[in-house]
Chain A
Amino acid sequence: MAASVIAAVLERYDTFAITSTAVIYFDEAPARAAAGHVVEAPYVVLKDDGTTPDYDLHGNVIGETTLLRFEVYGDSLAQVDAISVGIRWNGGAVDAGLGMDHADSLTVTAQTFGGMFHEREQRFQETARGVNAGLIFRNTMRYRVQMFLRTG
């Protein structure tokens, strides 16, 4: 069981089919992968945009909202789109919850999962070029994760 929402999302991503195409890293991709080879597109970077508690709920329940985004990098926009679809639905139906969109579960220690919501995505062509002077494309996919803590 993960100790944070970010850790849980990384664990969940690693169970997806798309992970064989695009490995995910937290905040910044390293110069070299675990296997020793140089990291180059396609890959995914998970950014933490912060967690905010909500003390206005009734009773002894505290809500915590985490904002995060997947930065999907690829050599073409088509490749970026394919990876993005894999992240959203993981090969399942739109309403199946197998991907990150309305994920069916996210296990974080001492917290109850409330939902994972796809809020926005935006595509870019990067200014800096990649290997062999090639183009690099990016899709920024923003999500909101709702968790609950019972304090009494």
Chain B
Amino acid sequence: MFDISELQLPHRITIQTLSSGRDSGGGNSQTWTTVATNVACLISQTNGNRDGRHDLDGNVFTGTLVGGNAYIGRADVRFYVTVGPRTGRYLRVTGCKEHGPVQDIVNAFYRATVEDLVT
């Protein structure tokens, strides 16, 4: 029975979940709550591109994050990188998937595509 933790994934993240409120102007506001720390994962950083969001010629990095923690398979979270590419940065989830489990062969593991607006 294979479990992804056997791969000794090299990177570490803190996972935060989202709740929302309202600011004084009536707009939505966000609050992030930590639900897991020192979570092992593998972050594969692909590259950066300048996507022109918000009429801004900014640079956005994208990547893929793989691990065994079920929160990695959720969209309403963000990841703070403590060890790995983009250390000290918050990664936003743009997509996520659950792989498996396959009985007696592999435990479930999770994959998220992430992005980070570079500052």
Contact of A77 with B50 in the complex, beta carbons under 8 Å? no
Contact of B78 with A128 in the complex, beta carbons under 8 Å? no
Among the 9-residue stretches A39-47, A89-97, A141-149, the one with 4 or more Cβ atoms under 8 Å from chain B is A39-47
B-contacting residues, A101-152, CB 8 Å: 123, 125-126, 128-138
Kindly report which residue of chain B lies nearest to residue A38, judged by CB atoms.
Answer: B119
Interface string of B39-66 (1 = CB under 8 A from A): 0000000000011111111110000000
Instruction: Tell me the complex Cα distance, A146–B30, Å.
Output: 42
Contact of B55 with A77 in the complex, beta carbons under 8 Å? no
For the complex formed, measure the closest distance between the CB of A133 and the CB atoms of chain B, giving whole angstroms. 4
Select B57's contact among A30, A73, A138, beta carbons within 8 Å.
A30
- Please, which residues of chain B bring their CB within 8 A of the CB of A132? 78, 89-90
Select A126's contact among B29, B50, B54, B90, beta carbons within 8 Å.
B54
In the complex, A8 has a CB within 8 A of chain B: no
In the complex, B8 has a CB within 8 A of chain A: no
18 residue pairs A–B, Cβ–Cβ below 8 Å: A27-B55, A31-B50, A31-B58, A38-B119, A40-B56, A40-B117, A73-B55, A76-B23, A76-B27, A79-B25, A81-B25, A123-B27, A125-B28, A126-B53, A131-B90, A131-B119, A137-B27, A138-B54
Write the residues of chain B forming the contact surface with A, with a CB cutoff of 8 angstroms: 23-30, 50-59, 78, 89-93, 117-119
